[in-house]
């Protein structure tokens, strides 16, 4: 028997950062600030990520490239892994992502790569709370309310998948 289902992704678009809440604007500003610590001499594509934690802390990360390309790490995972090691039991409230190319914020927002999306979902699963992701470009801002909207068919823990 074939069962057809529909997948709906809900998101909001904004034209300007000041249309976000004051706390979200602060998070976007932190993501922009951390662009300066990006190590991206090969691609010249800098990414900054900022996480707001439930305890009020803001954790940032920037992409770190390496001459052996697979050895680098995306900004999102840098921030997530740091938050996980420093505040292992504190849920994430929101994440902001900003990118620049050759020093200028890109026009359209970027979305996280598949590996980052999987890690984002893992941290959401750990804490059992969805969190929004704000992706910022100069001409548009996209906000999804739940990380699962970015990767609806994520990999699950093998034990969890076997039990369902």
Question: Which domains, from first to last, does the chain contain?
Answer: 11-158 (3.40.140.10)
**In whole angstroms, how far apart are CA 103 and each of 93, 142, 157?**
28, 21, 39
Contact present, 11 and 134 (Cβ < 8 Å): no
Question: Over 80: is that where the pLDDT of 164 sits?
Answer: no
Quote the CA–CA distance of 84 and 21 in Å, as a whole number: 25
Q: What is the pLDDT of residue 156?
A: 77
Question: Using one digit for the tens of pLDDT, what is the confidence trace for 68-87?
Answer: 988 999 999 999 999 999 99
Question: Over 80: is that where the pLDDT of 158 sits?
Answer: no
Q: What is the pLDDT of residue 160?
A: 59
Catalytic residue among 19, 54, 76, 159: 76
Question: Over 60: is that where the pLDDT of 19 sits?
Answer: yes
Q: What is the pLDDT of residue 101?
A: 97
The chain-wide mean pLDDT, for the chain, equals: 94
Q: What is the pLDDT of residue 159?
A: 58
Spatial CA neighbour of 61 closest among 124, 140, 116 = 116
Mean pLDDT of 125-141: 96
Mean pLDDT of 122-136: 96
Is 65 among the residues known to form the active site? no
Quote the CA–CA distance of 65 and 43 in Å, as a whole number: 8
Question: Using one digit for the tens of pLDDT, what is the confidence trace for 80-119?
Answer: 999 999 999 999 999 999 999 999 999 999 999 999 999 9
Q: What is the pLDDT of residue 69?
A: 83
């Amino acid at each position: 028997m074939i069962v057809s289902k529909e997948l709906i992704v809900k998101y909001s678009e904004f034209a300007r950062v000041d249309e976000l809440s004051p706390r979200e604007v602060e998070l976007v500003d932190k993501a922009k600030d951390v662009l300066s610590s990006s190590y991206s001499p090969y691609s010249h594509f800098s990414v900054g990520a900022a996480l707001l934690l439930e305890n009020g802390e803001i954790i940032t990360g920037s992409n770190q490239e390496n001459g052996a390309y697979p050895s680098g790490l995306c900004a999102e995972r840098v921030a997530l892994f740091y938050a996980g090691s420093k505040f292992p039991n504190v849920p994430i409230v929101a994440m902001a992502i900003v990118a620049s190319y050759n020093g200028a914020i890109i026009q359209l927002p970027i979305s996280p790569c598949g590996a980052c999306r999987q890690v984002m979902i893992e941290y959401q699963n750990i804490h059992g709370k969805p969190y929004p992701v704000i992706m910022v470009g100069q001409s548009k801002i996209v906000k999804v309310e739940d990380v699962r909207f970015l990767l609806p068919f994520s990999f699950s823990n093998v034990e969890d998948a076997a039990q369902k």
